[in-house]
Structure 1
Amino acid sequence: MHTQRKTLSTVGAVSAVAALGLLTACGADKTSAGDAPAEPSVPVTGTHWTVDSVTAGGKKIDAPGTKAHVAFDKKGRATGNFGCNGFGGTASVKGDTITVDKIAKTEMSCGDEIDKLETTLTEALKGKLKASVKGDKLTLTTAKGDSITLTSEPPAELAGTKWLLKAVVEKEVATSLPESASKADKAHLIFDEKAGTVHGNLGCNEVNAKATVTDGKIELGTPRLTRKMCDGEVMKAEQNLAKLFGSTVTYEIDHRTLHLTGKDGLGLNAEAAAKK
């Protein structure tokens, strides 16, 4: 298992990541002279933009399957992930030119392929960029002609989503589930709000329970578990997850990440499975 606390380090001014103002959709119809430009079909602020690819020096790196994304709020804040490491900063926009400064990011190495993507993205996001929106696509282009392409992605719903269990949380410390529990999306939960139930797998055993969802809280019933035995680390994680049942937990969805928190700071982190 892997236990970690993420730390932030200040990085030099990084420019970039999306239009916070009123950007005209690339290729969209415009109103008559003197009127405001047509609004993009997808708002730039309040939207989760997943990085599709980054092209630098004529070489394109695809990003599907990574955590790379960008989001902006109306207060001029930019947050996101370069592929493995999260980042945050301030943003300003003048017309279709966007600049993001005072970026802080976590510092983890996640393998050569992801590290290369992160380095390329960081370099591509420096300096002034031109931003354009067309449909659900956002394109950021540097003065050198390098570019980042992104796609808007709607948030996951609690009910009906296959939530892949990633970590057990104990007093704000997240401990990743053993590889055998998370392999092939084995550990997961699926909430059926209409039926008032939840079912899935806690890493070793199948689980079923009642689940009543009300305004940010879920009342979880006593779990019905199968009786298989797995290795010690898997069973330890499963026993902690099982403690969340038979009680009321709070839940929070951060786009496609689910956080459940129960008594004494015990909880879990899960990610929405990709739609097939």
Structure 2
Amino acid sequence: MEQEDRYLALLTKVASYRVERVTADGERMPLSASVSSRTENDRLVLTDVNGADILVFEPITPKPDLPLAGTDWVLDGYSTGGDAVSSVIAGTTITAKFSPDGNVTGNAGCNHYGGGYLLDGANLSVSSLFSTLMYCSEPEGVMEQEARYLGLLGNVSSYRVEGDRLVLTDAAGADLLFFVQAEEVPAAPLTGTLWTLESYSLEGDAVSSVIAGTTVTAEFAPDGNVTGSAGCNRYFAAYEVSGKTMTIGPAGSTKMYCGEPEGIMEQEARYLSLLESVAGCRIDGDRLDLLDEAGKTLLSYRAESVDQP
């Protein structure tokens, strides 16, 4: 903040400027402002009334525009009404990924969400949004931020990409959501990783987050066995994987009964049933999705730890 205050204060003292090029031997060569070709050695120098250099800028090499679909986007800021823009609450991450198949998915800060989108040139519409139903109490304001984000996403009418930045706008052309390209996360290996369940499929298109206070895990061993916690009981099953194709089960488990939290046994039964319906898998960074024969996501996990060789 001290740097920012200093920068803004210096801006108010600017009286003139010059554009110069620094040669290999350190010589400074003045350039005309109308010169169209720039090099990495060009600089913009802002000076005060006494001619002292107070701010020096170096050129930024323009980045090629990234594609909307297939790029991992992370939210940098969002509109709060009028010209006001808010940054994302510290400690939260909001993401979006527009897949070539017309689906958009991501994390809204607390819950996972999904929906469909239609693209026609620069026109973009997002519809049929759904999300898991987890409640997050921290950090403060995360649920209000999530509701604002999903509301704005459903109101998008167009988009533009500026290098590695994505801006979504409404029908009036007002900027609503500001994304930057997410840092690439190396793909976690299927085996040797502790996968923790974040959400699972219900009937139809409904998706549920894991019940608060429960932990469901999966560990795929190189010998073709998967083990973990189903929330109450330990389970085990055989699995086969070939490329993106996977089959699991049937699963066996211990026979303990857990009365709390409410719904834990029903969640466990649903989880073990979904395992036996798995027909494929997909790893994207630190996320593992287990899919049915139609490619629908049944189970979504996050990598918690990876065994080191």
Question: Within 5 A, what are the aligned runs for 1:1-276?
Answer: 27-28=60-61, 39=64, 44-56=68-80, 57-62=83-88, 65=92, 68-73=95-100, 77=102, 79-80=104-105, 83=108, 86-93=114-121, 98-101=122-125, 103-106=126-129, 112-122=144-154, 125-126=156-157, 129-134=159-164, 138-140=165-167, 148-152=178-182, 159=190, 160=193, 162-167=195-200, 169=202, 172=204, 174=206, 176=208, 179-180=211-212, 183=213, 186-192=215-221, 194-221=222-249, 223=251, 225-231=253-259, 233-243=263-273, 249-253=278-282, 255=284, 256=287, 258-261=289-292, 268-273=298-303
What is the distance in 2 between the residues matched to 1:79 and 1:178? 21
Quick one: structure 1 residues 100 and 155, their matched pair in 2 at CA, closer, same or farther if it must change by over 3 Å?
farther
Query: Cα deviation per residue 1:183-208 (whole Å; 9 max; x = unaligned)?
Result: 36x1121323x332322211111223
Mapped contact 2:115–2:130 kept (Cα < 8 A): no
Mapped contact 1:51–1:70 kept (Cα < 8 A): no
Query: Cα deviation per residue 1:224-263 (whole Å; 9 max; x = unaligned)?
Result: 5344320273223323433466x6731243854623449x
What is the distance in 2 between the residues matched to 1:169 and 1:234? 15
- Which residue of structure 1 lines up, in the alignment, with residue 23 of structure 2? none
Mapped contact 1:51–1:68 kept (Cα < 8 A): yes
The structural deviation recorded for 1:79 is 3.2
The structural deviation recorded for 1:268 is 3.9
3-state secondary structure, aligned to 1:59:
strand
Quick one: structure 1 residues 69 and 155, their matched pair in 2 at CA, closer, same or farther if it must change by over 3 Å?
farther
Mapped contact 1:220–1:244 kept (Cα < 8 A): no
Mapped contact 1:140–1:148 kept (Cα < 8 A): yes
Q: Which amino acid aligns with 1:258?
A: D
User: Matched residue pairs, number?
Assistant: 220
3-state secondary structure, aligned to 1:179:
coil
Give 5+ residue unaligned stretches, structure 2: 1-58, 134-142
Cα RMSD of the aligned pairs, angstroms, is 4.3
Query: Cα deviation per residue 1:33-66 (whole Å; 9 max; x = unaligned)?
Result: xxxxx755x6543223233432553331417756
Mapped contact 2:132–2:208 kept (Cα < 8 A): no
Quick one: structure 1 residues 155 and 92, their matched pair in 2 at CA, closer, same or farther if it must change by over 3 Å?
farther
Give 5+ residue unaligned stretches, structure 1: 1-25, 30-37
Q: Which amino acid aligns with 2:148?
A: K
